[in-house]
Amino acid sequence: EDFLIKLNAQTARLESCFAGAKGRVVLRLTIGPDGTVKSVQVLSSTLKSGKAPQCVADQLRKIRLPLTQDGKEGRVVVTLSRG
């Protein structure tokens, strides 16, 4: 729940990557125990712009998410859709 709140707070930053494009991007985030996004892997994308998925990944690397519950590194798959 805290994860979604933090991610939703980044909407404006992520919207700038889509730049009006419509589609979907699926990403796998690796989150460190301290909430830092250690890596982002683009799993798939339907966006026409080749730069948009990488932009989203770059922006997600800059955010800080809640601490993991068990104190260990965690992974989550996120789907972002526009249009």
pLDDT digits (tens, 9 = 90+) for 20-68: 788 899 999 999 999 899 999 999 999 877 788 888 899 989 988 888 7
What sign does the CA torsion over 60, 28, 65, 39 have?
A: negative
Task: Count other Cβ atoms within 10 Å, centred on residue 35.
Answer: 16
For residue 71, what pLDDT is reported?
Answer: 86
Q: Contact 59/13 with Cβ under 8 angstroms?
A: yes
d(CA 24, CA 34): 28
Residue 1 has pLDDT above 60, yes or no: no
What is the model's pTM?
0.80
